[in-house]
Amino acid sequence: MSRPFTVGQETTHLVGDPECPECLEEYPEGCRCGGLIHAASGESDSEGDEVPITVCDQCGRAEEEAFSLEA
């Protein structure tokens, strides 16, 4: 059974669940560490587009950190 973990203010994302019911559409997605990157509603950018809060359920990195060239 998957255990819950927190993404942003949402505390009911499920570790290891590729169909996590709390994630935004198109998430979770695979992380290069082998975990899953989950997403929660975030803030809006200057153009009014929503910028999600993302966290890997294994390494804890945000999506942009997990796929940056330096990481």
pLDDT of residue 70: 59
Q: Is the pTM of this model over 0.95?
A: no
Q: How far is CA 34 from CA 25, 26, 39, 44, 48, in A?
A: 20, 17, 16, 29, 32
Q: Does residue 67 register a pLDDT over 90?
A: no
Q: pLDDT tens-digit profile of 30-61? A: 999 999 999 999 888 889 888 899 999 999 99
Domain ranges of the chain: 4-60
Q: Of residues 69 and 48, which shows the higher confidence score?
A: 48
Q: Does residue 71 register a pLDDT over 80?
A: no
Q: Of residues 35 and 70, which shows the higher confidence score?
A: 35
The pair of three-digit structure tokens given for residue 67, joined into one six-digit string: 């796929």
